[in-house]
Amino acid sequence: MTIAAWKETTEELLAWASLADFTARLYLTEPSTENCSACRKWGELLADILPDENLPELLTRVNPEQADDLRQEFFDLFLVPMSGVYTPPFENAHRYGSMANGLSQIIGELYQAAGFYPETLDIPFYLKQMGRNDHLGLELVFFANLLYSADKASSQSEAERLRDTASQFFQEYPGQWAGSYGRELMEKARSPYFSALGALTVFVSKYAIDDQSWE
């Protein structure tokens, strides 16, 4: 691989890491003015890159002034089974219709093997207490961290190993359900914020698999 090709791959890798990381952030933290403003900034950035996609428009429709009103929808969608719109962001629940923890344990072993510990993340304590390693946000953070680590790798061979790990993990886990979950979230969302999150999830899932130029 030439230096120019390596630089291009690295830039693509960091772009995917940043977008996956941002998507994870929206799943793992309650809506805030900061999160809403970041949605708009991402929408403006992606508008130039994806002129034929509706994702940028959805992101720019998010209103930071409505951040406080969005918190209840966050809980209704992700945490309250009796809400009527509950859409559990857990792989086992979405793929197999069960809140069993077996898949979570398997994914947790992958996290530990790679030195990733969800309990150290700056996320609400109630998400840490759940111990659900199959939470979509955690899966996306892990994926992003592997790509960030690849960028910082001391050798090209180490970078390639980390990219391969990221690719394999995405295809075996979030790639199997994130797209359909995002579409379901779009159907149940009441606000532009969660509609945009659903669309963002679909986008990340589709193109992380179809366009692995960073691999």
| Domain at 16, CATH number | 1.10.3480.10
Any residues with CB less than 8 A from the CB of 38 and at least 6 apart, and which? 22, 25
Structure tokens at 190: 């009441």
Q: Which one, of 40, 26, 38, lies nearest residue 70 by Cα?
A: 26
pTM, to two decimals: 0.92
Is residue 128 included in any domain, yes or no? Answer: yes
Structure tokens at 199: 């669309």
Structure tokens at 58: 């959805």
Orientation angle between helical segments 156-172 and 136-152, nearest 10 degrees: 170
Is residue 53 included in any domain, yes or no? Answer: yes
Q: Per-residue pLDDT for 7 more than 70?
A: no
Q: Yes or no: say if 147 and 170 are a contact pair by the CB < 8 Å rule.
A: no
CA atoms in the 13 A half-sphere facing the CB of 70 = 24
Is residue 64 included in any domain, yes or no? Answer: yes
The pLDDT tens digits of the residues spanning 129-150 come to: 999 999 999 999 999 999 999 9
Residue range 29-39: mean pLDDT, rounded: 97
Is residue 187 included in any domain, yes or no? Answer: yes
Is residue 169 included in any domain, yes or no? Answer: yes
Residue with tokens 């994914």: 107
Rounded CA Rg of the chain: 17
Is residue 172 included in any domain, yes or no? Answer: yes
The residue range of the domain holding 198 is: 3-210
The pLDDT tens digits of the residues spanning 52-109 come to: 789 999 999 999 999 999 999 999 999 999 999 999 999 999 999 999 888 999 999 9
Quick one: pLDDT at residue 145? 96
- Residue 135, classed as helix, strand or coil, is strand
Is residue 215 included in any domain, yes or no? Answer: no
Chain CA centroid to CA 101, Å = 20
Own/partner pairs for 111-116, CB < 8 Å, 24+ apart? 111/138, 111/142, 114/142, 114/145, 114/146, 114/165, 116/141, 116/142, 116/145
β-strand partners of 135: 90
Is residue 149 included in any domain, yes or no? Answer: yes
Domain count for the chain, please give it.
1
